[in-house]
Chain A
Amino acid sequence: MTTAENPATATDTRTITLLVNGREVTRAVSTRTTLSDFLREDLDLVSVHLGCEHGVCGCCTVLFDGESVRACLMLAVQARGHEVETVESLSADQNDLHPIQQSFAEEQGLQCGFCTPAMVLRAKEILADGRERSDAEVRSDISGILCRCTGYQNIVNAVQNAGRKLSRGANGGAGTHDGVGTSAVDGAETEQATDIDRAPGFDGPAGTEQRG
């Protein structure tokens, strides 16, 4: 969708200032423009993908003051004075990926790429506490974002892999991304990448607690 202004139907506009990927942005927007359309059309942040526009699929997930929200369910004007992060905030450079993005590449935690920015952002959010997560925990954490390609397993692996990278980085030297040492990233996890038969760890029926 676009937000091209139309004087007769989009008469009500507001000027908003917000922080997007670390930069202050000021724009006039129609009050009915969704946050997702604003990010995509006005700011060219096309990583915010529109999968359903009714708040279920989660492909438009962004971090809003550090917490994941569905940008299709918010109006742009609601973001006034707040901070929004899209996947470009991790890295917008294909040749210099953030450790979380690298983990997704290593584990093939993506196929078509449409849910991927949302999954990466959600991974950043949940990994912020530095705690190791079980397979079932990660599944629950990412269950608000639908992926139709991967069957989720490689995404779970990618999130866990990223967690290990980040915690190693936090204990290591200075790095280019969020204090993560680049030395900890290079060549990581190659031994796992070849072991396709490894038991992924059934820690109970998916998404539920073991009965009995």
Chain B
Amino acid sequence: MTATQEPTAVTHGGTKPAYKYIGSDRKRVEDPRLLVGRGGYVADMKMQGLLHAAILRSPLPHARIASIDTSGAEAIPGVIAVLTGEDCKAHMNPCMNFGPSTISQYPIAVDKVRYVGECVAVVVAESRYVAEDGIEALEVEFDELPAVTNPHAALEPDAALLHDEHGSNLGYERTFEFGDITKALDDAHLVVSDTLHWGRSAGMPMETSGAIARPGTNGVLEVYCNSLNFSYLQFLVAGALRIPSNKLKMQPVAAGGSFGSKFTAHKVPTLAAFLALRTGRPVSYVEDRLDHLMNSDHHASDRYYEARMGFTEDGMITGLDVDVVDDYGAYLQFGVGTHGNALSQATGPYRFRDLRYKLRAALTNKCQQGAYRGFGSEVHNWVLERLVEQGAKKLGLAPEEIRRRNFIQPEEFPYKIPGGNVYDSGNYPEVLDRALSMIDVEHWRREKKRLREEEGRYIGLGIATTQERSVFSSTEFWFWFDEPAFPITSSPESATITIDPAGQFQLLLHCQAMWGNSPETVSTTVLAEEFGVEPESVNVSYADTSRALPGTGPGGSRYTVMVAGAVRGASRKLKKKLIDIAAHSLEVSADDLELVDGRVQVVGAPERSLGIPDLAASAYFFALNLPPGMESGLEEAYTYDHPYTTLPSADRSDLGVFYPIMGHACHIAVMEVDPDTGRCSFLDYVAVHDAGTVVNPKSLGGHVTGGSAQGLGTSLYEELAYDTEGQFNSATFLDYLVPSANEVPPFRIGHVETPSPYTEYGIKGGGEGGRMVTPSVVSAAVDDALAEYGMHVQELPVRPATIVETVQDAIDARQ
């Protein structure tokens, strides 16, 4: 049951229960198949008569499609069909859309193209090679329109319109104010302000999105795909395809990484399904890297900030005023949920009460925007930490000291922040202390001085923190609107446990298949904890949507918490049945029995026991051994709803509780910056995270390092760049620089565990934290290294040219 008031807190404080499986470094159960190259990715599937699709992508940022001559392509032997926006208009509805209804999108552009890379036409052929021949043979005439590329200019009255029906390029606008920001800043001893730009990057998994759709028997369309949140959103795909939801069976397929890029990514499976429906044949569409870079399903945040923060004389933050223009690109497919994320931890780990958050979502001729590890909260954290850093400098406080002074204290939880979200628990001073204990910052401060003087080197130290909100509630997607179309409040997760007649465990998950996270390791670890069987002995599979229970899937660092709740819930039900069967067989009261290491035994008399295989045999084959009225079989399912969410108030003066399971992290980096080349490198890096009770420290450590590496990419290398004409300049991996092992330093990882009072076992989410703090640390360290040149990072990625120019300008100014 979802708690609508503050739930009764489970006390996880004091000593943690002694778990046998949870909390230890165990090998991942996903790995053996991956290590022999049998990951079962969508491109690995073979099918009789399978056709392949290739896409002609728009070379222009903004144009009307005057004509498409498909005859040349259709004449190529092996080409089966050519489809355009006209086919979409005639035979399907717009794709699912969480933004205003006046901005609609189809998987193939209808009437006009709105960004370079948008799908203009699709060729379906007997092989991908032939499909690409077909693409070459298409003749398209465009009537060019003015390209809108600057998000601020997009909002000017004379800007060309992307969507005539919407009437403006302002996709959405809203200002939330909590407390009295004017007074908070007026009364402040110091107000710092900054103009900041977080550049566009993306999750960029090594495997692209893909789907295979096959018209099956009984008129059911089968779709195998590596993206989307299955049972949560399947009905919306069916709606776009104009077929009943029970005639669309979607099967999750393991993915080679997502990081947000496959979250809610619906256009690839929707397109494959549409192609299969139109051709009556099985069709595969797997993006190539060009498809993925310029179109994918979505790029990530691209935000321009004017932000201010007030401080008292002794460094206490008084308030935060944020004005953000977000360059959403051509469509607003996910609404502004990425800003809901920012509001879930808008004040960070700090105690201030006055906050204003003004958002304008600008529509421009670029790829649409969506999820990437942090989902928009990481961007806000960078802004917050940039301002805290600036305040510390101006007040003469060390970065660790200003944070320590402002931290919410451990005894203040649960803590309700301005806006309404609640932080469940935390110990921020302990995380900071732990990080400081792992690296001698005073040593590095001395080294910085010495190396500058003796060797002419530029060393910088960066310290930053982040909140890591986890376990989203769906209210964050609609509280922006006063009259939301679909104000859902559910974001559940389910598990089904079956003990087969031989006593072996089957675990069915109701979500996206493995995305590179560890859903099977986590869920089998919890099952092992409950039943005392080895995790590796459990077989895990994923439900297709024809039999799936409610499930929202991974995203917003929710899956570990939610699947643990689901597996534990199903375990309780199944254990009760095992005990009831045993009680009947042993002729004792169920209250006198316990399940220990896979056997049900009499408390105090363990020699009187029955093993799970014995009980399974009874459940399946010996009905006369069962308690009267009990059903045969051993299967239980459980749907675990969000543990703590509340409704926003009608006037939105309170946004409700929507992201309460709150992790925290502190990173400290020592960087070296070469002022002549702009090269940045790392001399040491410490990352301490608190994700509540840790299920598998090594796996969580892997997520921290992986997320941090992505954060370094966002900070220093990665940029989905458009020129001022709207041309896309990052169409290959030679242009979009994913960090290699040469750029990523070793990270030294520490864990602090402050269990959540609201989740099973006290687990908090931990999948995103690395990327949520690295940009702040890198910015601070680069500034520190080149402080004598007035370096002040205002834009990510920090390009080498920016560093060199800043240094050169400072030198020029001295002369």
* A interface residue numbers (CB < 8 A to B): 1-4, 6-10, 30, 32-33, 40, 45-54, 56-57, 59, 86-88, 91-95, 97, 101, 104-106, 108, 110-117, 120, 135, 138-140, 142-156, 193-194, 196-197, 199-202, 205-208, 211-212
Contact = CB atoms under 8 A, between A and B. Distances in A.
B534 interface: no
B77 A105 contact: no
Nearest to A156: B741
A120 B587 CA distance: 56
For A48, A112, A143, A193, the residue with the greatest tally of chain B CB atoms inside 10 Å of its CB is: A112
Contact of A47 (B36, B207, B707, B750): B36
Interface string B381-411: 0000000000000000000000000000000
Interface stretch (B106-114, B125-133, B343-351, B483-491): B125-133
A23 B309 CA distance: 68
Contacts of A120: 35
Given A113-B34, A146-B206, A206 B744 contact: yes
Given A9-B129, A153-B705, A97 B205 contact: no
Interface stretch (B180-188, B251-259, B419-427): B251-259
B744 A152 contact: yes
Contacts of A115: 206
B284 to A, nearest CB: 9
Given A110-B34, A200-B748, A148 B710 contact: yes
B749 interface: yes
A1 B451 contact: no
A88 B551 CA distance: 35
Interface in B256-304: 256-257, 259, 288-289
For B24, B205, B707, the residue with the greatest tally of chain A CB atoms inside 10 Å of its CB is: B205
Contact of A112 (B205, B699, B709): B205
A72 to B, nearest CB: 10
B31 A105 contact: yes
B33 A57 contact: no
23 contacts: A4-B127, A4-B130, A46-B38, A46-B41, A47-B36, A47-B37, A88-B37, A110-B31, A111-B703, A140-B741, A142-B741, A146-B740, A149-B257, A151-B709, A152-B741, A154-B702, A196-B701, A205-B682, A206-B744, A207-B742, A208-B742, A211-B457, A212-B457
Interface in B111-127: 126-127
A112 B278 CA distance: 33
Interface in B29-76: 30-39, 41, 43-44, 50, 52, 76
B746 interface: yes
Contacts of A2: 50, 52, 126-129
B496 to A, nearest CB: 24
A140 B742 contact: yes
Interface in B704-749: 704-710, 732-734, 738, 740-749
Nearest to A90: B36
Contact of A49 (B207, B516, B704, B746): B207
Contact of A88 (B36, B204, B455): B36
A95 B742 contact: no
A196 B697 contact: yes
Contacts of B697: 196
B544 interface: no
A101 B35 contact: yes
Interface in B1-50: 24-25, 27-28, 30-39, 41, 43-44, 50
